[in-house]
Amino acid sequence: MNLKTSCPLPKLKHLKIIYCQYLKHIQIHAINLVSFEYFGRETTRILLGDVPNFVSLSVMGGYVGYLFKKGCPISHYFSQLETLQLMILRFFRFPKLPKLRNLRLLKLDIHRLFMDGILCCTSFLTASPMLQRVVLKFVGLDDPQMDGEINVRRDTCPHQCLKVVELIGFCFADMQLALYLINKATSLEKIIIDTQRLSLGDILHDSSDIKKKLAAATACSKKLETSLAPRVELLIL
């Protein structure tokens, strides 16, 4: 099955294609396209043509693994993106990322089992010198236990523009990543910890287990506060 426009669509600014698993080819002619959201297979070939106003990309599903490979047509637009959202729920190795020179907002859904959060964030921060806000949503293996030693990885290349870090689904397992971002972002102004947003797995558990997880997440957040500089605001939701 193919999706191809028969004529230019100058009024189309926002395009969303999700759960279309049988699409093999997508070809759109929309010169004023601003944002594109896609959830589908890696094998789908996507051609957007000339889109000078295209600044926002959201990708989920198998296509995330193809997005950073040579030959992916979407990669031609990386340099003009201001917002990038990825759902990384399976293991794959990031190649060396191209420069995302205009990227201001990065949103990542990371599965703890399949992705090293620090390596992932390091790759994006290195490729995105103008990045101002990072939103990380953690999925899987959310052990609420607060014990063990935290070893913080030091970075010799600080990020000068990152001002806001938001962590969703935060627990003790993510403490090392949080401290790494705090140390790397020399201009950090605010860190937001969202402990209220529940996953489907949490919703299916009994209420006592949910309360335990929320209490543990709040305790971890307050523990993180001791590592913040006085200028950095901590907001716990």
Q: What is the average per-residue pLDDT within 20-32?
A: 90
In a domain, 111, yes or no: yes
The residue range of the domain holding 144 is 82-236
In a domain, 169, yes or no: yes
d(CA 236, CA 55): 30
Find out whether 100 and 79 touch, Cβ atoms under 8 Å.
yes
68 pLDDT tier (thresholds 50, 70, 90): confident
In a domain, 15, yes or no: no
92 pLDDT tier (thresholds 50, 70, 90): low
Closest CA to 73 of 86, 63, 61, 84: 63
In a domain, 42, yes or no: no
In a domain, 27, yes or no: no
In a domain, 104, yes or no: yes
Q: How many domains does the chain have?
A: 1
In a domain, 140, yes or no: yes
In a domain, 70, yes or no: no
Average pLDDT of every residue of the chain = 82
Q: What is the pLDDT of residue 141?
A: 56
